[in-house]
Chain A
Amino acid sequence: MNLFRTDIMVALKKSLDATLLRHEVIANNIANVDTPGFKRSDVTFKEALKLALEKDAFKGVQTDPRHIPIGPSNLDKVEPKVYKEIDTFFKNDKNNVDIDVEMGELAKNSMAYRTLTRLISEKYTSLETSISGRF
C-alpha cells in the first residue's frame, strides 16, 4: 500500500499534468490567431482516464513485457494527447482559431486547474490530519 499512490491521487496528479499541457496548447492557439494556414490543437485526456479508472474493464493479462496490451492502459501510463483539428477553417487564410472560443476554453481550463490544486491539497491535508491527530 502506498499512501500517495491511491487511484484518486494518481488521477488528480495526471489531470493536473493534462490541464497544464492544455494551457500551453491553448496559449499557442491564441498566439497563432493571425498565422495563415495555422490549425488549432487541443488535448484529449478525460476519456483515457475514465477508461483507466474503470474497475471491471475487459483487460488482457500480460505475462511478458513484450506482450501487446489489450484493453485500457494502466492508470500510471495514461498520458494526455495533443491532436490537431485539420478539417475545419474559420477564416479565408485556412486558419481555424476562433479567439472567443479559445478565451472561453482558457478560462474553463484555469478554473479546472484551480479546482484540481484545491482538491489535491485537501487530500494531503486529510492525510496530515489522520497521521498527526491534530489539525
Chain B
Amino acid sequence: MIINPIDLPMASMEAIGYSSLPSGGEVNSKPSFKETFKNALAKTNELQLNADNAMEDFVTGESENLHELMIGVEEAKIALQFTVEVRNRIMEAYQELMRMQI
C-alpha cells in the first residue's frame, strides 16, 4: 500500500506562494496560477472555434463527416462546462476565504 508523503501540506503552501526558505534566492519556475488559467481559457476558446469551423464546413458541404463534427461540438461543450465549473469553484473558494475569521 502506498501512503501519501506528509510533506503534501508544505507543497500546497509553496503553491500559494509561501516559501519555507524566506532568504532563498531561487526563482520559482512553476507557471503561475494566472498563466495556467489563461492557457486553459485559450484552449477552451480554441475548441469552440474549431467546432465553429467544423459547423461551417458542414453547412457549406465541404465536409460530410458527421461524426467528426459531433465529436468536435461535444468536446467544445464539455470544455466550456468544465471551465465554467472551475470558475464556480474558484469563486466559492474565494468567498469561503473572505468569510474566514482572522
Contacts and interface: CB of A to CB of B under 8 A. Distances in A.
Interface residues of B, number: 19
Contacts, number: 50
Contacts of B87: 133
A99 to B, nearest CB: 23
A91 interface: no
Dominant secondary structure of chain B at its interface with chain A: helix
Interface in A1-41: 7-8, 11-12, 15
Given A15-B59, A53-B60, A8 B52 contact: yes
Nearest to A8: B52
A46 B81 contact: no
Interface residues of A, number: 22
Contact of A46 (B55, B59, B76, B88): B59
A116 B62 CA distance: 15
Contacts of A47: 61
